[in-house]
Amino acid sequence: MDTAYSDVPDSPTSAPHDKPAIDSARDRGPGTLVGDTPVLWVGEPFADDGKGFWAKLEGCNPGGMKDRPALHMVERAKARGELADGAMIIESTSGTLGLGLALAGTVHQHPVTLVTDPGMEPIVHRMLAAYGAKVELVTEPHPTGGWQQARLDKVRELLDANSGSWSPDQYANPDNVDAYQSLAVELIAQLGRIDVLVCSVGTGGHSAGVARVLRRHFPDLKLVGVDTIGSTIFGQPADTRIMRGLGSSIFPGNIDYPAFDEIHWIAPQEAVWSCRTLTAEYHASGGWSVGAVALVAGWIARTSGAGTKIAAVFPDGPQRYFDTIYNDDFCRERGLLDTAPPTEPVTIDHPTDHIVQQWTRCATVVNPGEHRA
Ligand SMILES: Cc1ncc(COP(=O)(O)O)c(C=O)c1O
């Protein structure tokens, strides 16, 4: 480490008894499995000339990156008295937060009901059930807000029907953002100075939370957001999305628009190439957001000066994608196989310039939800 930082622990691998006490359930139980994830250097073929980026492997958490906000949101709600002992937790999720909430339910003894849609991988459905969560499936998308709005409507219905139940509301809950302080602190302990942070964007939680803490130490930090084509987050029209995790068909309140310096949209075949290349070359990969983030972080490395230190958050591991990204039939049927992505993204001046269909970047970041009711 090249500098000392006041809120960074001496060692990223400090023993559990050195950590600040949260409560006994968290300190002794499976909650101790969350955090202290490793970083991995990724170079060629994503970057060249000895350049590369550091990938923060959040797939090394039991469920993925969202174990952090799941535990934190539940613990804060309990501390504030919003979530009574034993009360039901209800949330809309495409999977990762669901896995985290199933863990939080076990740690803190709450029943968990998760609302999802047919896009959720069957393996995740089975894992959630095995971890003791109940899964409610919505069957029709909302006419304008898509699957996400349909899921949120169902959450409202379930909250009304179950007195005392509580929903974390990951899209607007500031604790979803605060939860990533630990990730930022780990990154600083592992990497020291960081110049560029590359994050995928779904609820906006980890990009906002990690960047906020890093900028306290490195005010010149550049934040690069990664979205999928067909997502409305950064001002594109909604379209069918194959990629899960990143992207949205609503405008989540947790997205910190002014924090971003530039954004990239990635197409599914580009993420597939990236995921499969990571798996073959680095034995560390993940889902759609991992592939998308790696592609962008590699390009940033190639086009930045030598010595620029880039951190990229890999939100999960590859296991749940073995029937999609890593399944040849799934990919072939959708035309996602054997296409190497372009070496450069298309650049547009404004998100409304045209509807993006392939890897595209834009340095003008606007909040398209700002003027909506
Ligand atoms: C696998 C995966 N990647 C990326 C994201 C986006 O992260 P965030 O919601 O913090 O913007 C999510 C969110 O659900 C996710 O599940």
**Where does the pLDDT of residue 29 fall: very low under 50, low under 70, confident under 90, or very high at 90 and above?**
confident
For 314, the token pair is: 């890999």
Q: Phi/psi of residue 155, each to 5°?
A: -60, -45
Instruction: Answer whether residue 21 is part of any domain.
Output: no
Residues ≥6 apart with Cβ < 8 Å to 20: none
Q: Which of 114, 171, 246 for mutating ligand 1's site (highest number of atoms within 8 Å of CB)? A: 246
Instruction: Answer whether residue 373 is part of any domain.
Output: no
7-24 pLDDT tens trace: 444 333 334 445 555 556
pLDDT of residue 65: 98
Residue 2 Cα to ligand 1 middle (Å): 31
pLDDT of residue 144: 84
- Mean pLDDT for all residues in the chain: 92
Count of C-beta atoms within a 10 Å radius of residue 196: 21
- Which of 142, 169, 196 delimits the end of a domain? 169
Three-state DSSP state, 39: strand
- Does 272 share its domain with 164? no
Instruction: Answer whether residue 368 is part of any domain.
Output: no
92-118 pLDDT tens trace: 987 899 999 999 999 999 999 999 999
- Does 49 share its domain with 128? no
Residue 1 clears pLDDT 80, i.e. is over it: no
Q: Is the CB of 209 under 6 A from ligand 1?
A: no
Q: What is the CATH number of the domain that holds 233?
A: 3.40.50.1100
Residue 371 clears pLDDT 70, i.e. is over it: no
- How crowded is the C-beta side of 197, counted as CA atoms within 13 Å? 30
Residue 26 clears pLDDT 70, i.e. is over it: no
pLDDT (average), residues 134-162: 92
Task: Using CB atoms within 10 Å of the CB of residue 143, give its burial: 0 to 12 exposed, 13 to 18 middle, 19+ buried.
Answer: exposed
Residue 372 clears pLDDT 60, i.e. is over it: no
Residue 22 Cα to ligand 1 middle (Å): 25
Q: Is the CB of 268 under 6 A from ligand 1?
A: no
- Does 294 share its domain with 351? yes
E-strand stretches of the chain: 39-42, 53-57, 89-92, 112-116, 134-137, 196-200, 222-228, 262-266, 310-314, 346-348, 360-362
Distance (Å, rounded) from C-alpha 151 to C-alpha 140? 9
Q: Is the CB of 286 under 6 A from ligand 1?
A: no
Q: Is the CB of 206 under 6 A from ligand 1?
A: yes
Range of the domain at 197: 27-60+175-362
Q: Model-level pTM? A: 0.92
- Does 189 share its domain with 75? no
- Does 165 share its domain with 180? no
pLDDT of residue 146: 84
**Where does the pLDDT of residue 336 fall: very low under 50, low under 70, confident under 90, or very high at 90 and above?**
very high
Residue nearest to atom 2 of ligand 1 (CA): 245
Instruction: Answer whether residue 351 is part of any domain.
Output: yes
Longest distance between any two alpha carbons in the chain, whole Å? 60
- Which of 148, 169, 190 delimits the end of a domain? 169
Residues ≥6 apart with Cβ < 8 Å to 343: none
| Residues 98, 131 contacting (CB under 8 angstroms) | no
- Which of 146, 169, 192 delimits the end of a domain? 169
Q: What sign does the CA torsion over 246, 250, 256, 261 have?
A: positive
- Does 107 share its domain with 191? no
For 88, the token pair is: 């039901």
CA 145 vs CA 149, 151, 152, 226: distances in Å: 5, 10, 10, 21
Residue 97 Cα to ligand 1 middle (Å): 8
Instruction: Answer whether residue 2 is part of any domain.
Output: no
- Does 285 share its domain with 185? yes
Residues ≥6 apart with Cβ < 8 Å to 233: 201, 204, 227, 247, 248, 251, 252, 255, 368
Instruction: Answer whether residue 6 is part of any domain.
Output: no
- Does 217 share its domain with 346? yes
**How many Å from the N-terminal Cα to the C-terminal Cα in the chain?**
47
Lowest mean pLDDT among 14-23, 115-124, 161-170: 14-23
pLDDT of residue 13: 39
Residue 63's closest CA among 14, 113, 136, 130? Answer: 130
- Does 198 share its domain with 332? yes
pLDDT (average), residues 112-128: 92
DSSP tag of 258? G
Residue with tokens 């939080």: 104
305-332 pLDDT tens trace: 999 999 999 999 999 999 999 999 999 9
Q: Is the CB of 205 under 6 A from ligand 1?
A: yes
288-302 pLDDT tens trace: 999 999 999 999 999
Task: Using CB atoms within 10 Å of the CB of residue 16, give its burial: 0 to 12 exposed, 13 to 18 middle, 19+ buried.
Answer: exposed
Instruction: Answer whether residue 3 is part of any domain.
Output: no
E-strand stretches of 52-103: 53-57, 89-92
- Does 102 share its domain with 196? no
Residue 2 clears pLDDT 50, i.e. is over it: no
Domains held by the chain: number: 2
- Does 334 share its domain with 348? yes
Specify the ligand 1 atom closest to the Cα of 206: 10
For 365, the token pair is: 């970041």
205-256 pLDDT tens trace: 999 999 999 999 999 999 999 999 999 999 999 898 999 999 988 889 999 9
- DSSP string computed for 268-301: HHHHHHHHHHHHHHHS---SHHHHHHHHHHHHHH
pLDDT (average), residues 64-68: 98
Residue 123 Cα to ligand 1 middle (Å): 18
- Does 163 share its domain with 181? no
Residue 49 Cα to ligand 1 middle (Å): 31
pLDDT (average), residues 66-94: 96
Instruction: Answer whether residue 49 is part of any domain.
Output: yes
pLDDT of residue 4: 43
Q: What sign does the CA torsion over 238, 242, 246, 252 have?
A: positive
Q: Phi/psi of residue 311, each to 5°?
A: -115, 135
Distance (Å, rounded) from C-alpha 70 to C-alpha 78? 12
